[in-house]
Amino acid sequence: MVETKQKPASTASANKDAASKSDAPGSGGGRGFLAILVIAALVAGGVYYFFFMGGGEQQQAQQQAGPPVTVAKPAVKDITEWSDFTGQFQAKEAVDVRARVSGYLESIHFVDGQIVKKGDLLFVIEPRPYELALDSAKAALEEAKAQLRLAEAQLKRTSQLRQKDFAAQATLDERQATVDTARATVESSEAALQQAKLNLDYTHVIAPMSGRVSRHEVSVGNLVIGGTGGNATLLTDIVSLDPIHFVFNVSEADGAEYKRLIESGEVKAERNGGLAVEGQLIDEKTWDREGVIDFVDNQYDTSTGTITMRAQFPNPDMHITPGQFGRVRVPASARKPTLLVPDAAVVTDQSSKLLFTVDKDNNVVPKVVDLGPIVGDNLRVIRDGIGKDDTVIVDGLMRVRPQGSVTPEDSEIDASSVTE
């Protein structure tokens, strides 16, 4: 009989306990798992710090630095400020040449548009009728003189007879009256003779002044009507060219400022002229024409709020034609150091003009400025609001916010195009 051997219960229990111990956390396999968890946590923390904590500091640093802009100190140059006005050139003298006597136009002695001198012959109106009138006036004068001689002879004889009481006093008085009448007739005939000579002279129409003559308004063979009124036939007109006037209007504000400058002595001028100005035609770029203001009107036009001024310019080459438009600039200050910035750097805020400046901490500081005219290559005169040591933002204004910070890049303003 075979006996079956069984393991002791204590041995089976020991093996179970050993297996349980090998799966416990404190075993070697549990320690490896914990190590992996710790490494993963450290890596995740590093990534978070790098991308969130470190990156935030970098972004914050960029925000504190601000956007890049170009800055410069205002340019300083000794110049005279000018105020520009548009106006029109006018002839200093202009004459309508009209017929003084009636008759048929016999000849024309100029070319349309020609330069003529005072006394040059322009037209001839048929003179023969006036030559006949002159001869008749001469004959009438001789007749009147003959009548006067006869009357004087009769008066002399009657006077002698009256002394011997051979003639009545009434007869003597009649003879005296006859002499007086004859003398008056002679004087009248002499005046008629002068008028006839004058009319004959008027048949030759001469230039009353030097200048450029217009076209002839009447052709040869036409009847012209003479006279001294507006019904007389217009033959042509003449305008003077040298010198020439320039007429322009000044607003009440500009006029008041101009007056204050004169009263303060900054601009030297008198009411009736003496102020030097510069002019140019519309197609000219430089101010090479020099003139003088010689007239300021005595009142403002209430409908336009402007006052009329006039400057006189020499025109020896006769290049300027009356009626042309042009520009004149009037000095608005004495020659002095002036601040200049690019006109593009000026910002408009409603009715105010601003410049954005940068302080020592690179913060944007807007400043209200008083503007002057544009000079040179689009440089704006700054009369007040900033100093020569201020740092002005000249480029990158679209990235600027008031009181914000910026990253300035230094540059210089070129004022070489500005003339003194």
Residue 43, Cβ density class (10 Å: 0-12 exposed, 13-18 middle, ≥19 buried): exposed
**pTM score:** 0.68
90 CA to centre of own chain: 16
CA distance 160 to 157: 5
Q: Which of 181, 197, 199, 190 is nearest to 139 (CA)?
A: 190
pLDDT for 351 equals 81
Residue 183, Cβ density class (10 Å: 0-12 exposed, 13-18 middle, ≥19 buried): middle
Residue 358, Cβ density class (10 Å: 0-12 exposed, 13-18 middle, ≥19 buried): buried
CA distance 279 to 40: 85
**1-50 pLDDT, tens per residue?**
334 344 444 444 444 444 444 444 444 455 666 666 666 666 555 545 54
pLDDT for 196 equals 94
Q: What is the CATH number of domain 96-239?
A: 2.40.50.100
CA distance 173 to 182: 14
Task: State how far the alpha carbon of 365 is from the alpha carbons of 65, 272, 299, in Å.
Answer: 16, 47, 45
pLDDT for 20 equals 45
Q: In this structure, what are the phi and psi dihedrals at residue 41, rounded to the nearest 5 degrees? A: -65, -40
pLDDT for 260 equals 83
Q: Which CATH class is domain 68-79+336-410?
A: mainly beta
Please give the full DSSP string across 284-314, using - where no structure is assigned. --S--EEEEEEEE-SS-BTTTTEEEEEEEE-
Q: Which amino acid is at 199?
A: N
pLDDT for 420 equals 62
Most distant CA pair in the chain, distance? 235
CA distance 265 to 334: 9
CA distance 260 to 19: 112
Residue 402 token pair: 């008031």
pLDDT for 118 equals 93
In 222-343, the DSSP E strands lie at: 223-224, 234-239, 244-251, 275-281, 289-296, 306-313, 325-331, 336-342
What are the boundaries of each domain within the chain? 68-79+336-410, 83-91+243-331, 96-239
pLDDT for 207 equals 95
**75-129 pLDDT, tens per residue?**
998 888 888 899 999 999 999 999 999 999 999 999 999 999 999 999 999 999 9
CATH superfamily of 83-91+243-331: Efflux pump adaptor protein, beta barrel domain (2.40.30.170)
**Positions in the chain short of pLDDT 50:** 1-28, 47, 50-51, 54, 62, 271
CA distance 46 to 53: 10
